[in-house]
């Protein structure tokens, strides 16, 4: 095989690689055309990929990236458990949805197909998608895996080319909507049939020896390219800390990520992460490893072939019994949300490493910035106007905002970090399949992370229950802490607008007003025009009833900001105001602007206001630092957008780029030398929590103690404690 790799025709190899990608895409598209799930058909939550006979991923196609990474685990396990008894044969296809084997939760369902040539196993293909109905209790109510419905470790749904109706009926009749579940099941089989057939056509075209050698080379190239990229970046340690809250109680948890890069290796240590919870907000180890792979594919190895080879230089340590490595039989229906917090934690570290390496075009602030969680979620129960069971979610989250970059704003409603080829559901289709009428879906005012470069804006929506008497939605307590987002170098983790609530309305009042052409399109309008009363807490535990004519307001994630908001150009801020991305409250509160009654910025007054705000940041400093370095001092590293590490007679020191003042030793946390201010999040939020509870988080701001430039905005949770001056950047210095 080694000799074959050295003699592979490079042109044929490139053709094979692109053809294999196209084959996988054809299989994925076939799956989407057969599937019944809106999240699959429109949202793109599906995957098709290829694996070698041992289960190593040869190539994943652009579907849901965590599916592709997790399926390697599934193939290895079914080989271990069932390889000899009952064994696998040409024409078999195997169903699996056990999150303790692979995937994130029982709703992640896969079908795996061995590919044989001349009676010999030469590869596997696998298709995965999200089926929201598995029977069991409604989403959010589970406290152990047994509550979460159908869980299959490995079962042949197709045997020797024959579809097994007995297995199919046994699976789908455990669910509320068996017709929908069966169509999803058959869609995965269809995707595999297309991919396997096309893979064998590649064997016919190139020959089996070439295909096997090229598949191995693809994985080897992926490893070599990943190692080369790591060698091009500085050594050091980066740390992140992200917060979120549980499903059954307003119980905060934290995910702590320490990433150490040395030479051509990368190590992740998640010690310090919170213990697993007694609800479904837990991640199994396979889910956590898949999300680490997802994060690195998005941010670091995006230009490396998407095979298992890219992860060979990466090691991961996850404490057992933590929220990232829950012990069986913990429930894990909310694992993807935990996974997204994890993806943000990893991405935060990677972004700062990339900045230190000068790769400015590759950097984004967080893509998952939610101002808070709590209130109505995405998952509904009950029936539609036609009496069809509602057992799926609304996935407007696929239209979230992307994080800001050093030289540009984030992308508004750009997508979702999990799914390169994802899409947001069509409103007309939602209204056809669900008992809802959408009153608005638009960019969320103040949903983007504030910064010199603002984050991409997510969306907000107001919709009304219509034609149903038994609708319910998963409902979690309001905890009031930003989660899943991060800003970079003075930018905010997320915007602080939006209101998530179920609104009880007067049916007669709302009908009479709508007859006149009136309807609310924002939470502020619902409040100010008295359209309804927000439900502060669920009356039925983890679910809330939504009566007909009731309203729901919600917002999706926005991207984090980059840099001090006071540095944003007034011209671009005016464009944001004109587009409704920010309102005058946010322009004045975070950007130091002065907005006239006509909605236009007063340039002179805004410049004066900004100077006053920057000076006010340093209120209370009695002895600001006065030591400045020579402008000619050698720059040793540039790991921060506003701070350099320069050479001095005292050793390497942190120096402000704007005013050249020395903060302190670069072998220590720069935040120890910065001026810090803590602010409760109640004073930052545009709306109070509907439950009238206080936010449990706070912002900690760090400023240059000489010029007042904003260096970092951290989220902190006093309830969890721990180090407030979080040491996020530790460059290895000579």
Instruction: Indicate the range of 53-67, 229-243, 352-366, 478-492 predicted with least confidence.
Output: 53-67
Tokens encoding 437: 């009428």
Confidence tier at 163 by pLDDT (50, 70, 90)? very high
Kindly report, residue by residue over 264-312, the tens digit of the pLDDT: 999 999 999 999 999 999 999 999 999 999 999 999 999 999 999 999 9
Q: Are 312 and 257 in contact (CB under 8 A)?
A: no
Exposure string of 76-106, with b = 16+ CB inside 10 Å and e = fewer, is: bbbbeebeeeeebeeebbbbbbbbbbbbbbb
pTM of the model: 0.95
Assess whether pLDDT exceeds 90 at residue 429.
no
Instruction: Indicate the range of 315-319, 328-332, 386-390 predicted with least confidence.
Output: 386-390
Summarize the confidence of residues 695-703 as an average pLDDT: 95
Q: What are the extents of the domains in the chain?
A: 567-617
Average pLDDT, the chain: 93
DSSP string, 673-684: TSEEEEEEGGGT
pLDDT score, position 270: 98
Rounded distance between C-alpha atoms, residue 569 and residue 329, angstroms: 53
pLDDT score, position 507: 95
Assess whether pLDDT exceeds 60 at residue 5.
no
pLDDT score, position 3: 47
Kindly report, residue by residue over 548-601, the tens digit of the pLDDT: 999 999 999 999 999 999 999 999 999 999 999 999 999 999 999 999 999 999
Assess whether pLDDT exceeds 50 at residue 404.
yes
Assess whether pLDDT exceeds 60 at residue 340.
yes
Close Cβ partners of 543 (under 8 Å, ≥ 6 residues apart): 138, 140, 141, 381, 472, 473, 474, 475
The residue among 619 and 115 whose pLDDT is bigger is 115
pLDDT score, position 4: 54
pLDDT score, position 33: 94
Residue positions counted in the chain? 734
Torsion, Cα 11 12 14 16, to 10 degrees, reads 170
Q: Are 558 and 417 in contact (CB under 8 A)?
A: no
pLDDT score, position 347: 97
pLDDT score, position 25: 93
* Alpha helix positions (H), 518-619: 523-528, 570-579, 584-591, 603-617
Confidence tier at 399 by pLDDT (50, 70, 90)? confident
pLDDT score, position 49: 94
Tokens encoding 186: 């058959």
Assess whether pLDDT exceeds 90 at residue 41.
no
Kindly report, residue by residue over 623-675, the tens digit of the pLDDT: 777 666 666 789 999 999 999 999 988 899 999 999 999 999 999 999 999 99
pLDDT score, position 628: 66
Kindly report, residue by residue over 556-570, the tens digit of the pLDDT: 999 999 999 999 999
Tokens encoding 198: 């096309």
Q: Which helix (H) or strand (E) holds 442?
A: strand 436-443
Instruction: Indicate the range of 98-107, 506-515, 534-543 predicted with least confidence.
Output: 534-543
DSSP collapsed to 3 states, 97-156: CCCCCCCCCCCEEEEEEEEEECCEEEEEEEEEEECCCCCCCCCCCCCEHHHHCCCCCCEE
Assess whether pLDDT exceeds 70 at residue 398.
yes
Q: List 50's β-bridge partners, or say none.
A: 59, 125
Tokens encoding 674: 């910065």
Tokens encoding 474: 């998963």
**CA atoms within 13 Å, Cβ hemisphere of 464:** 20
Kindly report, residue by residue over 229-251, the tens digit of the pLDDT: 999 999 999 999 999 988 777 88
How many C-beta atoms surround the C-beta of residue 691 within 10 A? 18
The residue among 622 and 676 whose pLDDT is bigger is 676
């Amino acid at each position: 095989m080694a000799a074959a790799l050295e003699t592979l025709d490079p042109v044929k190899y490139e053709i094979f690689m692109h053809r294999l990608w196209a084959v996988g895409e054809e299989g994925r598209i076939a799956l989407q055309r057969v599937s019944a799930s809106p999240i699959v058909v429109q949202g793109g939550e599906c995957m098709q990929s290829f694996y070698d006979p041992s289960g190593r991923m040869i190539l994943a196609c652009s579907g849901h990236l965590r599916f592709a990474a997790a399926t390697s685990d599934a193939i290895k396990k079914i080989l271990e458990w069932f390889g000899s008894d009952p064994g696998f044969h040409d024409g078999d296809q195997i169903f699996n949805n056990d999150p303790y084997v692979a995937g994130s939760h029982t709703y992640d369902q896969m079908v795996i197909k061995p590919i044989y040539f001349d009676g010999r196993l030469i590869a596997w293909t696998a298709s995965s998608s999200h089926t929201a109905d598995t029977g069991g209790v409604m989403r959010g109510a589970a406290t152990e895996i047994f509550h979460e419905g159908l869980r299959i470790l490995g079962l042949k749904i197709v045997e020797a080319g024959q579809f097994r109706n007995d297995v199919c009926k046994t699976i789908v009749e455990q669910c509320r909507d068996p017709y929908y579940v069966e169509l999803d099941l058959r869609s995965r089989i269809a995707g595999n049939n297309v991919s396997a057939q096309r893979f064998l056509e590649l064997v016919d075209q190139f020959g089996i020896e070439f295909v096997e050698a090229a598949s191995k080379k693809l994985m080897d190239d992926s490893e070599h390219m990943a190692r080369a990229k790591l060698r091009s970046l500085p050594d050091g340690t980066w740390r992140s800390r992200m917060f979120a809250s549980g499903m059954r109680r307003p119980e905060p948890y934290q995910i702590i990520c320490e990433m150490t890069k040395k030479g051509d290796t990368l190590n992740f240590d998640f010690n310090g992460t919170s213990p697993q919870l007694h609800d479904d907000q837990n991640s199994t180890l396979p889910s956590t490893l898949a999300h680490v792979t997802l994060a690195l594919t998005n941010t670091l190895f995006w230009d490396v072939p998407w095979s298992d080879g890219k992860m060979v230089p990466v090691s991961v340590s996850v404490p057992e019994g933590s929220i990232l490595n829950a012990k069986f039989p913990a429930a894990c229906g909310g694992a993807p949300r935990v996974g997204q917090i994890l993806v943000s934690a990893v991405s935060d570290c990677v972004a700062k490493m990339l900045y230190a390496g000068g790769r400015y075009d590759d950097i984004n602030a967080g893509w998952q910035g939610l101002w808070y969680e709590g209130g109505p979620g995405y998952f509904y129960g009950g029936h539609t106007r036609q009496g069809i069971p509602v057992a799926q979610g609304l996935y407007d989250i696929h239209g979230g905002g992307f994080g800001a970059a050093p030289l540009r704003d984030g992308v508004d409603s750009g997508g979702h970090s999990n799914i390169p080829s994802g899409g947001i559901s069509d409103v007309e289709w939602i209204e056809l399949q669900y008992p809802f009428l959408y009153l608005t879906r638009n960019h969320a005012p103040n949903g983007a992370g504030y910064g010199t470069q603002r984050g991409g804006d997510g969306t907000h929506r107001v919709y009304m229950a219509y034609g149903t008497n038994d609708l319910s939605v998963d409902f979690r307590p309001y905890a009031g802490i930003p989660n899943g987002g991060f800003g970079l170098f003075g930018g905010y983790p997320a915007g602080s607008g939006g209101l998530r609530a179920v609104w009880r309305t007067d049916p007669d009042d709302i009908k009479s007003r709508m007859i006149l052409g009136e309807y609310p399109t924002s939470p502020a309008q619902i409040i100010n025009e008295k359209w309804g009363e927000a439900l502060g807490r669920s009356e039925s535990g983890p679910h809330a009833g939504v009566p007909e004519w009731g309203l729901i307001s919600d917002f999706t994630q926005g991207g984090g900001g980059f840099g001090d908001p006071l540095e944003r150009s007034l011209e671009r801020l005016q464009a944001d105001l004109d587009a409704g991305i920010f309102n005058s409250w946010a322009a004045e509160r975070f950007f130091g602007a002065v907005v006239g009654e006509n909605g236009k910025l007063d340039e002179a007054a805004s410049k004066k206001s900004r100077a006053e705000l920057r000076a006010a940041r340093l209120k209370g400093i009695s002895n600001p630092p006065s030591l400045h370095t020579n402008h000619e001092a050698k720059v040793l590293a540039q790991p921060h957008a506003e701070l350099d590490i320069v050479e001095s007679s005292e050793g390497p020191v942190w120096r402000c780029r704007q005013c050249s003042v020395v903060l302190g030793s670069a072998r220590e946390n720069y935040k120890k030398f910065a001026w810090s201010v803590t602010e409760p999040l109640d004073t930052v939020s545009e709306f109070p929590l509907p439950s009238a509870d206080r936010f449990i988080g706070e912002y900690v701001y760090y400023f240059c103690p000489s010029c007042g430039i904003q260096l970092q905005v951290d989220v902190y949770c006093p309830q969890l404690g721990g180090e407030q001056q979080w040491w996020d950047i530790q460059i290895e210095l000579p």
